Amino acid sequence: MKLIEDLELIHEPFEKAVITLGNFDGVHKGHLALLNTTIEKAHEIHGTSVAITFEPHPIRVLDNGSHPPLITIYEQKLELLERTGIDVLLSIPFTREFADMEPNDFIEDLLVKRLGMKAIVVGNDYSFGKKRQGNIDLLRAYGDKLGFEIIIPQWITAPDGDDRISSTRIRDMIKSGDVKTVPELLGRHYQLRGKVVSGRDRGGKLLGFPTANINLRDELSPETGVYAVTVKCRFGLFKGVANIGYSPTFDDHLFTVEVHILDFNHDIYNQDIRVNLIEKLRDEKKFSGISELSEQIRKDIEKARLILEPFA
């Protein structure tokens, strides 16, 4: 995948560009349907598959910093998009000036003249340009005029059939702690990323269960509680139990993510790790003391081992 983060670096149109556009927060199954259709169409016409996204997320610019937390930080979004096999990812710096581009200029000057678009793949509610005045009807009008095809794949609906898959719905599921169901919409387990930092030095010494304390880089944190997880670090993939929240037994009111990695004896201090949330085990609870908390952690580990049996 060729990553382009500046429009000025594009000096000539792509060969028969097939384009899809979106914020792609989460790169979920609905996004993958658009991306896969784009790739297939590009293969069909011997062209170039191009995904266009925006950084930062447009709502951050247009709503003066008021925005929901992202499912995927920019770094992870790039990784996930690269895995799709798209030829080119154009990440456009989103500014108020860009947001004010007239819809017809967006189509004619950017998509067709600069990028060489021969087909565009979008959802049936796609809107664009200044005040989101551009829509599918305008695309069709310009498609007839300028000779490009508009492709609108069917919505990918959730397994329960209630609604289409969306970043908003996935975000709400994660925030409510329903991480077990998330893969049905996201296509993978929700992942937290962060660097292992110094904790409060009580996991191993006080409780008998050493933990990796993570300084999160992600914006979206699930509901507080205890989770069965898998942990990816430079030593491989391991099983674990994560406590996400405020450790009410200790009354220090500090939000932390602490992961006890099962059957693990390596030094990962100051290293980046990735924590995949498999299933919520229980809510946070204030225990009477260290002994009762330690016993509950043992039970959490036993339950997590059963849940994580399918994971190597």
Q: Which residues are catalytic?
A: 258
| DSSP calls for 215-276 | EE--S--PPSEEEEEEEEETTEEEEEEEEEE--GGGT----EEEEEETT-----TT-EEEEE
Surface-to-core class of residue 231, CB atoms within 10 Å of its CB (0-12 exposed, 13-18 middle, 19+ buried):
buried
Q: Give the integer Cα–Cα distance in Å for 57 and 62.
A: 9
Give the contacts of 65 (CB within 8 A, at least 6 positions apart).
none
CA-closest candidate to residue 209, choices 296, 307, 82, 115: 296
CA-closest candidate to residue 296, choices 278, 310, 283, 279: 283
**Alpha-carbon torsion (34, 38, 39, 40), positive or negative:** positive
Pairing assessment for the beta strands 256-261 and 117-121 based on DSSP bridges: unpaired
CA-closest candidate to residue 156, choices 186, 189, 119: 186
Q: Give the integer Cα–Cα distance in Å for 9 and 5.
A: 8
Residue count of the chain: 312
